[in-house]
């Protein structure tokens, strides 16, 4: 897949695609903050560079998510080194994102942050069931990383997450939380917010009756045909940010 912010591969230059991905990455961090996530710096968003495709942009270590700007992003190399930008690389984010983006050439972005419902749900080490409309988005399109290594401190551990994720939209990291990927930053961020709401539903309704697989697939096809994450991202920016160019100031 190519970046969903593009109308065609030829219409935008690499510099323009990079600017859009970086802007949306900075906006994504602010949207996490708007949900009151990441106050402890416990999360990360990546944005693959369109030319140096083995490198990705991420917020430099130590910046509060609510204040994230494009100038606060750093380009992380495949070895975890700083390729461009100023500041320190979030090494925990590198260990998770680099193997995922390396294994998924279709993915532009991955999102992971600790949340009030997704993290406790992940401790149950189970998949979602189609018990709400939103849960149908992830029906047969999310995985479980059933592993006790919650302190990801190596590329090998990140590689096992990537292997468990496969070609899925999202993954539940046992006792750790949620993670989504997308063919644009907007898709990954919007999908993550939806995934957290699905986890909340599962934690609040303990004896729900799932709908049928056929009904879930029908809903999923309709909900995702235009990019459910992108539309959610746009709505969140409108509600919480207003002018999206604020992150360039």
Which tokens go with 116? 């009030």
- Residue-wise pLDDT tens digits, 161-178: 999 999 999 999 999 999
Angle of CA points 194, 213, 120, to nearest 5°: 40
pLDDT value of position 104: 97
| Domains of the chain, earliest start first | 14-248 (3.40.225.10)
Backbone angles phi, psi at 44, to 5 degrees: -165, 150
Burial of 245 (0-12, 13-18, 19+ CB in 10 A): exposed
pLDDT value of position 10: 57
- Residue-wise pLDDT tens digits, 29-43: 999 999 999 999 899
- Determine if the pTM surpasses 0.75: yes
58-65: average pLDDT: 96
87-116: average pLDDT: 97
Residue 132 has what DSSP assignment? S
Confidence of residue 5 (pLDDT cuts 50, 70, 90): very low
| Helix boundaries (H) for 35-154 | 91-103, 118-122
Mean per-residue pLDDT of the chain: 94
């Amino acid at each position: 897949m190519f970046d969903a912010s593009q109308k065609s591969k030829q219409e935008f230059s690499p510099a323009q695609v990079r600017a859009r991905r970086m802007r949306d990455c900075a906006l994504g961090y602010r949207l996490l903050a708007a949900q009151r996530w990441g106050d402890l710096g416990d999360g990360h968003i990546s944005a693959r560079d369109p030319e140096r495709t083995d490198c990705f942009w991420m917020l430099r270590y130590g910046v509060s998510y609510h204040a994230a700007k494009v100038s606060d992003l750093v380009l992380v190399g495949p070895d975890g080194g700083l390729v461009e930008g100023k500041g320190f690389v979030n090494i925990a984010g590198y260990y998770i994102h680099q193997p995922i983006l390396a294994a998924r050439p279709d993915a532009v972005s991955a999102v992971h942050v600790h949340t009030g419902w997704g993290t406790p749900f992940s401790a149950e080490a189970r998949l979602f069931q189609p018990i709400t409309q939103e849960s149908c988005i992830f029906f047969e399109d999310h995985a479980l990383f059933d592993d006790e290594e919650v302190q990801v401190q190596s590329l090998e551990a990140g590689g096992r997450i990537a292997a468990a994720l496969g070609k899925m939209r999202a993954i539940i990291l046992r006792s750790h939380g949620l993670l989504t990927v997308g063919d644009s930053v907007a898709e990954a961020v919007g999908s993550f917010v939806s995934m957290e709401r699905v986890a909340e539903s599962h934690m609040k309704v303990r004896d729900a009756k799932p709908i049928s697989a056929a009904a879930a697939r029908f809903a999923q096809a309709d909900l995702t045909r235009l990019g459910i994450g992108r539309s959610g991202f746009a709505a969140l920016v409108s509600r919480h940010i207003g002018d999206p160019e604020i992150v360039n100031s």
